[in-house]
Amino acid sequence: MRIIKSIHSVNIRFTNERWLHIIENHDDLTDFYDDIINAIEIPDLIINGYGNAKIALRKMKK
């Protein structure tokens, strides 16, 4: 398990189970583990999700 600190200093537990869940549903993200971590730590934009959830977005090169 990896602990990631969000841009708002919130600790996020990023477990192997979560990573497997992500790539099982989004196999195109398999090679982007570090990019996903960076999006959480240093997003370009944060939008509101359902409830109180926040969604971190980061622009990526093709």
Domain hosting residue 9, numbered range:
2-57
pLDDT in the model for residue 48: 95
**Is the residue at 34 inside a domain?**
yes
- C-alpha–C-alpha distance, residues 37 and 33, integer Å: 6
As for how many domains the chain has, the answer is 1
pLDDT in the model for residue 1: 87
Best CA proximity match to 35, nearest among 59, 6, 11: 59
**Is the residue at 62 inside a domain?**
no
**Is the residue at 41 inside a domain?**
yes
**Is the residue at 24 inside a domain?**
yes
- List, for residues 4-53, the tens digit of each pLDDT value: 999 889 999 999 999 999 999 999 999 999 999 999 999 999 999 999 88
How many residues does this entry show for the chain?
62
With 80 as the cut, is the pLDDT of residue 62 above it? no
pLDDT in the model for residue 21: 94
Residue at 44: amino acid letter: D
- C-alpha–C-alpha distance, residues 27 and 42, integer Å: 23
